[in-house]
């Protein structure tokens, strides 16, 4: 299925940046949870930290890091001929993260609906990308990532209606962890393609 047998410099570069930026994102999220782990935060999800004065700066740093890393990964996926769902999923997240910050959900119905629309588009794009990974790669790792992401998505979805089920934050966190893992699996699946293509191009020049 085209999986790599070695590690190419291009692969190491994108993996290193993605690991660094994902680490910064989840470290910032963990710090936010440590600062405020109230029922309101659990009920409103990760977005709560983007409107809370004690955590907004931390979230901006985390979102910016994640956006940069995932956008870089999307370019790598595009150049490695990844399926459109994988590339679009990464692009949707990279662009959607700053849009979430730019649409504070607590500033009225218009802002709230705008915020939710961005979030839903991102979630659907991420889910489609992971399904594409399972269909292409298969294997236990892909199915585990898909199952964990599905569990997080269902947990988050069950928390959205007013059912006094404040588990949106854990559900979203699980979902994002699984999506981050799926990006590394995509790179592993397609790894080495860019270097091989460059060698062929130079040989034919």
Assess whether pLDDT exceeds 50 at residue 199: no
- CA dist 87 and 2 (Å) reads 18
Whether residue 57 is contained in a domain is answered as: yes
What pLDDT score was predicted for residue 179? Answer: 97
Instruction: Extract the tokens encoding 57.
Output: 């700066």
Give the long-range contacts of residues 172-177, CB within 8 A, separation 24 or more. Answer: 172/45, 172/46, 173/29, 173/46, 174/148, 174/149, 175/123, 175/126, 175/149, 176/25, 176/26, 176/46, 176/152, 177/26, 177/148, 177/152
Q: Average of pLDDT values for 117-141?
A: 94
What pLDDT score was predicted for residue 45? Answer: 93
Residues of the chain with pLDDT > 90, as a percent, come to 78
Whether residue 205 is contained in a domain is answered as: no
- Which H or E element spans position 127? helix 109-137
Whether residue 200 is contained in a domain is answered as: no
What total number of domains does the chain contain?
1
Identify the DSSP state of 174: H
What pLDDT score was predicted for residue 59? Answer: 97
Whether residue 18 is contained in a domain is answered as: yes
Whether residue 3 is contained in a domain is answered as: no
pLDDT, mean over the chain: 89
**3-55 pLDDT, tens digit each:** 444 445 567 889 999 999 999 999 999 999 999 999 999 999 999 999 999 99
| Residue 168: domain span | 9-192
What pLDDT score was predicted for residue 10? Answer: 64
Helix, coil or strand: residue 178: helix
Assess whether pLDDT exceeds 80 at residue 144: yes
- CA dist 15 and 180 (Å) reads 11
**160-183 pLDDT, tens digit each:** 766 678 899 999 999 999 999 999
Whether residue 201 is contained in a domain is answered as: no
Residue 200: band (very low, low, confident or very high) from pLDDT cuts 50, 70, 90 = very low
Residues of the chain with pLDDT > 70, as a percent, come to 87
Whether residue 199 is contained in a domain is answered as: no
Ramachandran region of residue 8, left (φ > 0), alpha (ψ -120 to 50) or beta?
Answer: beta
């Amino acid at each position: 299925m085209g999986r790599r047998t070695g590690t190419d410099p291009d692969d190491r570069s994108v993996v290193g940046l993605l690991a660094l930026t994902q680490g910064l994102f989840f470290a910032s999220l963990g710090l936010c949870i440590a600062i405020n782990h109230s029922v309101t935060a659990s009920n409103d999800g990760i977005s709560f930290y983007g409107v809370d004065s004690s955590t907004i700066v931390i979230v901006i740093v985390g979102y910016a890091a994640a956006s940069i890393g995932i956008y870089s990964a999307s370019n790598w996926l595009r150049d490695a001929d990844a399926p459109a769902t994988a590339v679009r999923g990464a692009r949707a997240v990279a662009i959607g993260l700053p849009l979430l910050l730019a649409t504070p959900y607590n500033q009225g119905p218009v802002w709230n609906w705008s915020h939710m629309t961005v979030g839903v588009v991102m979630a659907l794009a991420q889910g489609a990308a992971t399904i594409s990974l399972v269909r292409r790669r298969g294997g236990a790792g892909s199915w585990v990532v898909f199952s964990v992401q599905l569990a997080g998505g269902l947990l988050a979805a069950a928390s959205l209606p007013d059912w006094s089920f404040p588990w949106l934050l854990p559900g979203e966190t699980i979902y994002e962890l699984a999506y981050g893992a799926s990006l590394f699996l995509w790179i592993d699946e397609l790894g080495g393609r860019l270097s091989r293509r460059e060698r062929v191009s130079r040989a034919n020049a």
